[in-house]
A and B are shown apart, each in its own frame.
Chain A
Amino acid sequence: MGTPRTRTILGLLLVVGLGFGTAACGSGADDTEEGGRVTLVINGLPPATEAANHQRFLDNVAEFEKLNPDIDLEPREGKMDPQTFAAKLAGGQLEDVFYVYFTDPANLIAKRQVADVSEYLADFPVTQQIKPEVLRVFQDDKGGVYGLPYKNYSMGLLYNRELFTKAGLDPANPPRTWAEVREAAKKITALGDGHVGYGEYSKSNTGGWHFTAEIYSLGGEVAVNDGGTWKAAFNSAQGKQVLQQLKDMRWTDNSMGERQLLEWSDLLQLMGSGKLGMYVATADNIPTIVNQYQGKYETYGLGPIPGGAGTLGGGEGYMFNAKASPAKIKAGLKWLTFWFTSAERFEAENKWSADNKIPIGLPEPAIFTGDAAQLQAAADAKYANVPQENYAPFKAAMPSIPVKLEPPNAQQIYAVLDVAMQKVLTERDANVDQLLADAEKQVNQILASVR
């Protein structure tokens, strides 16, 4: 009597157990490569809500597969999300070729979470034309290459031309020094009605990020390599000048608004609302302000970073899963040099973007040198559909302002520098010297701990 029932129950339990077991094991990407066919999982596919971009990506995939019948691309949505990256990696769900920001590679290389692709680059000549300082983002200290860049930006001063005109400032001539920024911010604030002259970040690492751009603009450094060891270098005249200027603008001039502890989207939103005069930004902020916060391209101008002794550069690119086989790496490099890191593609991409009302001609530093750079410049000029004269000040100054990259362990350092930015913007009697000294101590600890 009891036996069949017991058997049934045990059978059920077994099924349940197996269900749990298989649910607990992540299924990795298919790694079989039969008959020389390679299946390559890639990300960067724009979400279906961005219909045009989404379709464009899929069209590129189809075209690539036609040219390379032995490669199957499996596109997936999504870019770099630090919060899901580790989980995807752990679950074997990380794409073979995945999107990164310039802040990611150093960390991924140090943790050995990416594959070295140096030995395959000789077959892809366009990679020889990538600017060495941009390629360096994707290299380890021995020169091994782990990925390829796609876009590069550098920081300038984004400003509202209409408010400039209203405040009696010349929109064709944005401030070139921090002293001029301070004066302009006062005039814009004087318009009243909740206008904010100059906006600044101080939350979620964005404060430290802007501090870095601003200290570079004065010729300062955040960290320097001193005989093989990194040391904090921002407790300097330039570091003091950055914080003191912000403190004066916030508390003496009242030209930065009451609301502080702002993070990335806050200033874009404020700019879109027409209430903000200026903030330090990259050109790619402009389309976001237009699309998400109801701005108009005609309203915004981009000038060089005030001070002009240097600026912070960032960008995006693609890297390779540490577990990718040589066949997958080769296929991945084919894909990247077919589209993202490809000079031949600029013409077709720009034509398509122009047809689809997607902005062309925002001023960005090229990722290439030589012929490839010229191809890109020609294609950009041909299809430009956003007001080029608004970015003329930025473009004119671009060749003379050196683009510097982020310090090592950037995010950790930014988190520390956030505190200094927060304090000067939220405490009237903040002690600049003390803040820099405290931050210096902590950053030196970060730079000393090779974890």
Chain B
Amino acid sequence: MIGDNLLAYAFMAGGLACFALFSWYPLIRGIMLSFQQVNFVTDPYWVGTENYVALFEDPLFWTAWRNTLVFSGIALVFGYLVPLFLAILMNELRHLKGFFRVAVYLPVMLPPIVVVLLWRYFYDPGNGLFNTVLSAVGLPTSQWTQSSGTALFSLVLVSTWANLGGATLMYLAGLQSIPGELYEAAELDGASVWQRLRHVTIPQLRFLMLVLLLLQVIATMQVFIEPYQLTGTTNPDTITVMVLIYRYAFTVNNDFGLAAAMSVTLFVVLAAFSAVYLRLTRSQES
């Protein structure tokens, strides 16, 4: 049986080897690491659940999860609805379609570090762009990333601006694949713009919206570069799960076991969302 398909297995072997080496092995090693203490000189030794106990006792663990969930929540409100709205607008355009498509996608093409440095200048509470504009038109200025009330929201703004282009284009592609006859039929029935949106567009896009929602949840939960660059690894108002993992491993604790334990908690949460995503895509395909 295997002998018959040896050639096929041989073709798969390279891909499988790569997967095993670069995906599965690190994953299993990471889970093992979370139950070990590592110093890279002697072999790692097992410490049972010590890392997890230390993790759950660290108030920052809960702070980071709370911040991450709040960030994801706000990011979804903006990053999920704004691209949909933009895509519908762009779909209705008669002129300059190409220009807007490029314009909306431009920020996605910027390297994330450039985006963050750019926004650091926008947000500068002293002479940054935003406060300069606000005071010029007589509005009160804000501390942006530098006050606990507005910091997390400010990070969401950066992240949304940087990433909405991708989602917008996907929605646009979805919108353009909706058969024109449906709209024509709706128009003949005397449906208004809103009714067409409600009864034709949204139902047709429902599946795409659901997939994008899950993908965005998975992506926003892994937010790192915005809080890391704009507010640092020690700021309790904005520390996220990924920043805390980084902090455990590299900047404060130098404790890879603890960082691995934190990574495992993130992995479990993201795996749950991914399972939902896979199930949905599979049911749609079938």
Contacts and interface: CB of A to CB of B under 8 A. Distances in A.
Nearest to B127: A194
Given A86-B256, A261-B232, A415 B40 contact: no
Contacts of B42: 112
A13 B10 contact: yes
Question: SS class of chain A's interface: helix, strand, loop or mixed?
Answer: helix
28 contacts: A2-B6, A5-B7, A20-B17, A82-B250, A83-B250, A86-B38, A86-B254, A86-B256, A112-B41, A112-B42, A113-B40, A204-B232, A258-B124, A258-B126, A260-B146, A261-B145, A261-B146, A261-B235, A322-B41, A415-B233, A415-B247, A418-B232, A419-B235, A427-B147, A427-B148, A442-B59, A451-B54, A451-B255
B252 A16 contact: no
Given A112-B41, A419-B236, A426 B256 contact: no
Contacts of A257: 126
A131 to B, nearest CB: 27
Interface in A195-229: 203-205, 207-208
Given A6-B6, A261-B232, A411 B252 contact: yes
Interface residues of B, number: 39
Given A24-B21, A90-B40, A427-B147, A259 B126 contact: yes
B49 interface: no
B5 to A, nearest CB: 11
Contacts of A16: 13-14, 17
A263 interface: yes
B251 interface: yes
Nearest to B10: A9
A259 B125 contact: yes
Contact of A82 (B59, B143, B234, B251): B251
Interface in A159-204: 194, 203-204
A133 to B, nearest CB: 25
Interface in B18-48: 21, 38-42
Given A20-B21, A82-B251, A112 B148 contact: no
Contacts of A259: 124-126, 146
Given A257-B126, A259-B125, A261-B235, A412 B145 contact: no
Given A17-B17, A86-B254, A207-B234, 19 more contacts: A13-B10, A16-B14, A20-B17, A111-B39, A113-B41, A194-B126, A194-B127, A203-B232, A204-B234, A208-B234, A259-B125, A414-B234, A415-B233, A415-B251, A418-B234, A419-B234, A423-B148, A426-B148, A449-B54
A83 B252 CA distance: 11
B126 A89 contact: no
Interface of B: 6-7, 10, 13-14, 17, 21, 38-42, 54, 59, 124-127, 131, 143, 145-148, 231-236, 247, 249-256
3 cross-chain pairs, A with B, having the tightest CB-CB distances, nearest first: A258-B126, A418-B234, A89-B40
A422 interface: yes
Contacts of A12: 10
Contact of A258 (B59, B125, B252, B253): B125
Given A113-B41, A204-B251, A263 B256 contact: no
Contacts of B41: 89, 111-113, 322-323
Contact of B235 (A10, A322, A422): A422
Nearest to B128: A259
Contacts of A258: 124-127, 131
A294 interface: no
B253 A412 contact: yes
A205 B253 CA distance: 12
Nearest to A419: B236
